[in-house]
Chain A
Amino acid sequence: MANFGLYGVPKLLLKGVSKTYASARGRTDALHQIDLSVKSGEFICIVGPSGCGKSTLLKLIAGLDAHSDGEILADGRQVSGPGTDRLLMFQEPALFPWLNVLHNVEFGLKMAGVSEKERRAKAHGVLELVNLVKFRNAYVHELSGGMKQKVALARALVMEPQVLLMDEPFAALDAQTRATLHEELQQAWLATKKTIVFVTHNIEEAVRLADRVVVFSSRPGRICREIPVNMARPRESYSYAGIAALIEEIAAELKSAPPDHAKLDLANPDRDRAEQDTAREEWCGEGYSQKGSVSYASHSGVAGRLQS
């Protein structure tokens, strides 16, 4: 496919992107020198510990927040504010409770001044894609969590964005619903061939969905490694032994990734030693043992099934 070509302009290009927040307690480096290139139609997953700035990165790409340093190019153009070519899906569905499902999906088109007839037709199309046509007149509070996220997905897809940015959109859902949504997202992606940047802390989710998994280290966020996932689609959970191997590889990557304190010392010579120790603890303790064990548990499940 042409848009997978080596020489095409990348859909998204990040060059040395950094983000620093200034607060009363001093400056916080959220992201440090991020270089990332995303091809058109590519599905990227970013994994990393909580607080590594991966959500911040999505906000920067969406133009909802300004980066401190570096360049963000979408289709070769500088990103300077929000645009409907880059739509962000949040961890919470952020649907409007005063509108029904159909009107929520039509919202962006209405803002763009699309005629009512055309809006309705397009909204109907995407609702079909996510199997929600019969709920088009329901209000948001009448929907389940998974349905809400599907409406949010439909609301984004209907705008035909160039890039879909997803910030842990399925984190709050139960495993069963999540699995269904993984399937439906893959179908929607295969049907529309959007470029997707998907942030998650769930390694299994990342491996299942992504063409390439980008591993972030903790504060300040930086890219440790990029791991391509070359497996046929649509992928079903546990259907490939390869998934298990990749999960193991990425989990190991996350565990061994150094939090880069040496460099922090140089940048911040007066940084408190105790604070660094806490940070390290966070990295090894809260950040990974828990999430790692979840992945390992499911991994050993796969292994068990493979052995039997």
Chain B
Amino acid sequence: MLLIVVWQAACSLNIWPEYLFPGPIAVLNSLIGSLRNGTLLVSLYTSLRRIVIGFGISLAGGVITGLLVGRSALLHDTIGSIMLGLQTLPSICWLPLALLWFGLSERAILFVIIMGAFVAVAVSTEAGVRQIPPLYLQAARNMGARGYRLYRDVIIPAALPGMITGMKLGWSFAWRSLMAGELLYVNLGLGHLLMMGRELSDMAQVVMVMLLLIIIGLISDKLIFARLESFVYERWGLKKSVR
């Protein structure tokens, strides 16, 4: 709240012209305007749909890949090293190829998101699997756990802390890739709305979209990931319970 007051005060001093540094009132007006004409809701819906689908595929695929690669020396030496290489590549670099392969379509942007998030999830899950104390696996084998049950009842829960790290990382990679893609080429979506603001020199709209992105980021972090994390940490006894 104080931040907004300071922000408005700074604008009122007219140090910078309005078109370079919009104040909160201008931003609020822009928000109301874009809500009225529906562009904001369409953009929000498009972006969220893209991220949910892209991240969902990355999460499912990444967890399965990570679990398999973490348990197999052969897969680790082959796929594992490829994954490490891919991880160093910002996923937006896939955009030119994606556009060539899929055209200017939803599939192109989903591909870019998945290339960013999938590897992050897979690498973290694999690390989670590798960090399982061998003692757990010995004890489990000794008590008759093997095959699918070993995965379901021991490996997956034991690797869960690593998987959650991967989820968080994957989510933020997915967001970054999505925004980069939308800013650069792809139609609709929040990134596109932000770019429109730039092209129309409507800085109020740019700032409005930026704030919205921050809010979405905070909500997803606080409501989903922070809760998951504290649940696992508490249960595993990695951190003292806050309560």
Cβ-defined partner of A107 (8 Å) among B133, B153, B160, B235: B153
Find chain A residues with CB under 8 A from B135 CB: 90, 92, 94
Across the two chains, which residue of chain A brings its CB closest to B135? A94
A140: Cβ under 8 A from any B Cβ:
yes
Residues of B125-182 contacting chain A, CB below 8 A? 133, 135-136, 138-145, 149, 153-154, 157-158, 160
A274 to chain B, nearest CB (A): 33
Measured between beta carbons, the chain A residues less than 8 angstroms from B141 are 64, 82
Task: Indicate if the CB atoms of B142 and A96 lie closer than 8 Å.
Answer: no
> Given A64-B138, A92-B135, A97-B236, A111–B158 Cβ distance below 8 Å?
no
Most buried by B among A96, A98, A99, A107: A98
Closest chain A residue, CB of each to CB of B145:
A111
**Chain B residue total in the interface (Cβ 8 A):** 20
A303 to B136, CA, bound (A): 43
Are B235 and A94 in contact, with the CB atoms below 8 A?
Answer: no
**Interface readout for A141-160 with B: 1 if CB under 8 Å, 0 if not?**
11000000000000100010
Distance to closest chain A CB from B27 (angstroms): 46
In terms of DSSP, what is the predominant structure of the interface of chain B? helix
B237 within 8 A of partner (CB)? yes
Establish whether residues A142 and B237, one from each chain, have CB atoms under 8 Å apart when the complex forms.
yes
**Which residues on A sit within 8 Å (CB–CB) of B133?**
94
Residue of A nearest to B146 (CB): A111
**Chain A 76-115 interface 0/1 with B at a Cβ cutoff of 8 Å (1 = within):** 0000001110011010101011110000000110111000
**Nearest Cβ distance between residue B21 and chain A, in whole angstroms?**
51
A111 touches B143 (CB 8 A): yes
Question: Which chain B residues lie closer than 8 Å to A84 at the CB level?
Answer: 142-144
Residue among A62, A107, A111, A155 facing the most chain B CB atoms (10 A cut-off): A111
In this complex, which of B136, B144, B145, B149 has the most chain A Cβ atoms within 10 angstroms of its Cβ? B144
List, in ascending order, chain B residues with CB within 8 A of A92's CB: 135
Q: Are A96 and B157 in contact (CB under 8 A)?
A: yes
Q: Which of A87, A92, A94, A142 has the most CB of B within 10 A?
A: A94
Q: Give Cα distance in the complex from A233 to B157, angstroms.
A: 42
Taking a contact as CB atoms under 8 Å apart, the answer to whether A87 and B142 are in contact is yes
Given known A94-B135, A96-B136, A98-B160, contact A111–B142 (CB-CB < 8 A): no
Report how far A204 CA is from B144 CA in the complex, Å: 34
How many positions in chain A have a CB within 8 Å of any CB in the partner chain? Answer: 25
What is the distance, in angstroms, from A83's C-beta to the closest C-beta of chain B?
A: 8
| CB atoms of A96 and B154 under 8 A apart | yes
Closest to A95 in B: B139
CA distance A139 to B139 in the complex (A): 18
Residues from chain B with a CB closer than 8 A to the CB of A107 are: 140, 143, 145, 153
A139 and B144 form a contact (CB under 8 A): no
The interface residues of chain B lying within 8 Å CB-to-CB of A112 are: 144
Q: Are B158 and A96 in contact (CB under 8 A)?
A: yes
Task: Name the CB-closest residue of A to B240.
Answer: A141
Task: Please state if B158 and A87 are interface contacts (CB–CB under 8 Å).
Answer: no
Residues of A within 8 A of B139 (CB): 88, 90, 94
Contacts of A97 in B (CB 8 A): 235-237
Does B143 lie within 8 Å of A108, measured CB to CB?
Answer: yes
- The chain A residue with its CB closest to the CB of B234 is A139
Q: Show 28 residue pairs from A and B whose CB-CB distance is below 8 angstroms, ordered by the A residue.
A: A62-B142, A82-B142, A83-B144, A84-B142, A84-B144, A87-B143, A88-B138, A90-B135, A90-B139, A92-B135, A94-B133, A94-B135, A94-B138, A94-B139, A97-B236, A98-B157, A99-B157, A107-B140, A107-B143, A107-B153, A108-B144, A111-B145, A111-B149, A112-B144, A140-B237, A141-B237, A142-B237, A159-B143
Which 5 A/B pairs are nearest by Cβ-Cβ distance? Answer: A141-B237, A108-B143, A98-B157, A94-B139, A111-B144
